[in-house]
């Protein structure tokens, strides 16, 4: 590695697996509500990852994975029609040792070591570890942030920082 390179190493931490509808994976001719309501098929399990970057300015994350509460807390997702549609869209498997903090621990770090988390977009399987990162700087694009505010979307990580 070049000694001027600011990145020493990149590691992957898995926070579980997700299965989605095949039509969600690749666009099809079927309208969204048709495949969402009628599909009986699921893709194979796909990893939900967070990327750990050992940077000269401190430990960084790219995305933070899925929160285990999404499979253990019956009130995590909204109820009603929205909750029903969420349940048709994705199925999650997240074991007790598949949290962000457990994954960081396996590679020799603690959540408190994280200086910065860069979030690619505001879906719950990319923001699930935010609630654990109270000490870290969080970076998200202005477009994502504005879009969430305009739509009235609550913080997908339900973290105290944004009172979501």
Write the pLDDT tens digit of every residue in 65-96.
999 999 999 999 899 999 999 999 999 999 99
Query: How far apart, in Å, are the Cα atoms of 155 and each of 25, 33, 36, 83, 108?
Result: 24, 25, 24, 16, 29
Q: How many CB atoms lie within 10 A of CB 38?
A: 11
CATH topology for 7-156 is Metallo-beta-lactamase; Chain A (3.60.15)
At 57 the three-state DSSP class reads: coil
- Taking only the tens place, the pLDDT of each residue in 87-129 is 999 999 999 999 999 999 999 999 999 999 999 988 888 899 9
What length does the chain have? Answer: 164
- Dmax (CA) for the chain in angstroms is 55
pLDDT for the residue 100: 96
Q: Is the pLDDT of residue 164 over 50?
A: no
DSSP label at residue 93: E
Which secondary structure element, helix H or strand E, spans residue 51, and what is its range? strand 46-55
At 107 the three-state DSSP class reads: coil
Q: Among all chains, which residue has been given the structure tokens 């973290």?
A: 159
Phi/psi of residue 108, nearest 5 degrees:
95, 15
Reduce the secondary structure of 106-164 to three states and give it as a string. Answer: HCCCCHHHEEEEEECCCCHHHHCCHHHCCCCEEEECHHHHHHHHHHCCCCCCCCHHHCC
């Amino acid at each position: 590695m070049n000694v001027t390179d600011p990145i020493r190493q990149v590691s992957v931490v898995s926070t579980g697996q997700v299965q989605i509808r095949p039509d969600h994976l690749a666009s099809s001719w079927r309208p969204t509500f048709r495949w969402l309501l009628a599909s009986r098929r699921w893709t194979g399990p796909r990893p939900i990852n967070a990327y750990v970057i050992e940077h000269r300015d401190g430990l960084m994350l790219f995305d933070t994975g899925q929160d285990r509460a999404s499979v253990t807390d019956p009130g995590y997702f909204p109820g009603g029609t929205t909750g029903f549609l969420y349940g048709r869209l994705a199925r999650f498997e997240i074991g007790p040792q598949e949290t962000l903090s457990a994954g960081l621990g396996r590679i020799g770090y603690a959540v408190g070591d994280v200086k910065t988390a860069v979030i690619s977009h505001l879906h719950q399987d990319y923001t699930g570890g935010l609630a654990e990162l109270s000490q870290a700087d969080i970076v998200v694009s202005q477009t994502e942030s504005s879009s969430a505010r305009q739509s009235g979307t609550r913080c997908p990580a339900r973290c105290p920082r944004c009172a979501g």
